[in-house]
Copies of this chain bind each other. A is one copy, B any other.
Amino acid sequence: MTGTVTVLGAGAMGSALATPLRAAGWRVNLWGTWLDDHLLDACAAGSPHPRTAVPLADGTRLFYSDRLADALDGTDVVIIAVASVGVQEVARRALPGISGSRALLLTSKGFSPDDDGRVRLLPDALRELGAEHDAELPPIVAVGGPCKANEVAAGRWTATIFGCRDRSVAEESARTLGTAAYRAGTTDDEAGVEICAPMKNVYAIALGLADGLGERHEEPFHDLKAATFAQAVRELVILAGLVGGRAETATGLAGVGDLEVTGLSGRNKVYGARIGQGESAAGALEAMTAAEQTVEGVPAARLAKDLVDQRDGAAWGELPLLAAVLDVIAGADDPASHVARAVLPGPPGNA
Give me the interface of A with B, judged by CB distance under 8 Å: 145-148, 151-152, 154, 156-159, 161, 171-172, 174-175, 178, 183-186, 219-227, 229-230, 233-234, 237, 247, 251-253, 256-258, 260-261, 264-265, 340, 343-349, 351
Contacts of A253 in B (CB 8 A): 226-227, 230, 345
> Which 6 pairs, one residue from A and one from B, show the smallest C-beta to C-beta distance?
A146-B226, A230-B257, A185-B345, A159-B227, A226-B261, A171-B348
A48 to chain B, nearest CB (A): 13
Which residue of chain B has the shortest Cβ distance to A232 in the bound complex? B256
Cβ contact within 8 Å between B227 and A257: yes
A220 and chain B: residue at smallest CB distance? B151
Which residue on chain B has the smallest CB distance to residue A149? B223
Residues of B close to A237: CB separation below 8 A: 251
User: Could you pull out 22 A-B pairs where Cβ atoms are within 8 angstroms?
Assistant: A145-B230, A146-B230, A147-B223, A151-B220, A151-B221, A156-B224, A158-B223, A158-B224, A158-B227, A159-B226, A171-B348, A174-B345, A175-B348, A183-B345, A185-B351, A226-B260, A227-B253, A227-B257, A229-B256, A230-B260, A233-B252, A251-B251
Give, as a whole number of angstroms, the nearest-CB distance from A189 to chain B: 15
Min distance, Cβ A148 to any Cβ of chain B, angstroms: 6
- Once A227-B157, A252-B230 are accepted as A-B contacts, the answer to whether A265 and B222 lie under 8 Å apart by CB is yes
Q: How many angstroms between the C-alpha atoms of A185 and B251 in the bound complex?
A: 19
A196 to nearest B CB, angstroms? 11
- Interchain CB contact under 8 A, A222 and B348: no
Q: How far is the CA of A184 from the CA of B152 in the complex (A)?
A: 40
The answer to whether B251 and A233 have CB atoms under 8 Å apart is yes
CB pair A256–B227 under 8 Å, yes or no, is no
User: Are A258 and B174 within 8 A (Cβ)?
Assistant: no
Contact A174 B348 (CB under 8 A): yes
Q: Are B223 and A159 in contact (CB under 8 A)?
A: yes
Q: Which residues of B contact A183 (CB under 8 A)?
A: 344-347
A114 nearest CB across to chain B (Å): 33
Bound CA–CA A251/B257 (angstroms): 12
Contacts of A261 in B (CB 8 A): 222-223, 225-226
Please indicate the chain B residues that have their CB under 8 angstroms from the CB of A247 in the complex.
251
- Cβ contacts under 8 Å, A230 to chain B: 145-146, 159, 252-253, 256-257, 260
Contacts of A145 in B (CB 8 A): 227, 230
Residue of B nearest to A214 (CB): B156
Contact B224 A157 (CB under 8 A): yes
Which B residue's beta carbon lies closest to that of A347?
A: B175
A328 to chain B, nearest CB (A): 15
Distance between Cα atoms of A227 and B90 in the complex (Å): 31
Known A146-B223, A223-B148: A260·B229 in contact at CB below 8 Å: yes
CA distance A340 to B225 in the complex (A): 26
A226–B344 Cα gap in the complex (Å)?
Answer: 24
A347 touches B226 (CB 8 A): no
